Amino acid sequence: MQDQSEDLSAALAACAKGDRKALRHIYDSEAGRLVAVAQRILRRRDLAEEAVQEGFIRIWIKAHQFEPGRGSARGWIYAVIRNHALNMLRDGKREDLVTSDKLEELQDREQIDQIMASWQRLESGSRLHECLGALEETRRRTILMAYVGGYTHGEIAGRLRLPLGTAKSWIKRGLSALRECMR
């Protein structure tokens, strides 16, 4: 983890000096997770991708402002993207065509369906596919929501209408069963 942090810090320093390959390196290593962060804020994939694209322009322009002594490079990069996504949200770039409650429910359902479909896309003979398939459906769902969808334990509990402790224990027990199965 320390190497990745130093790597991103060095890449930001190189960006400040005009090295485009460094920006490409940051993009290649972080863009997927950054889109997920922006999508959780904006609730739309297209806007999230736009936020990340524009955020990388800001990273390029403001890389000289990064100070390693004030925090991690990864934290700084994520803050740039997060702040840009929040600004887009405040500026009204996200239009609600249906009531916000209904839209959120539809998006959550679609997101969870996509997360669950990721398990189905695994190679059917793979060990991970078999081990996930051996789990009880609710434990499999919580693990996929946490590790594929990036949901926090609290968000999983809320979406599945479970007590927080139950969601945490299902994830913990599911991961334990997965570790045993993968051995």
pLDDT tens by residue, 13-42: 998 899 899 999 999 988 888 999 888 888
Residue-averaged pLDDT of the chain: 82
Whether the pLDDT of residue 96 is over 50: the answer is no
pLDDT tens by residue, 78-94: 989 988 888 887 776 54
pLDDT of residue 113: 66
Task: Give mean pLDDT, residues 45-72.
Answer: 89
pLDDT of residue 21: 93
User: What is the percent of the chain where pLDDT is above 70?
Assistant: 81
Whether the pLDDT of residue 1 is over 50: the answer is no
pLDDT of residue 35: 92
Calpha distance 88→82 (Å, rounded): 10
pLDDT of residue 53: 92
pLDDT of residue 17: 92
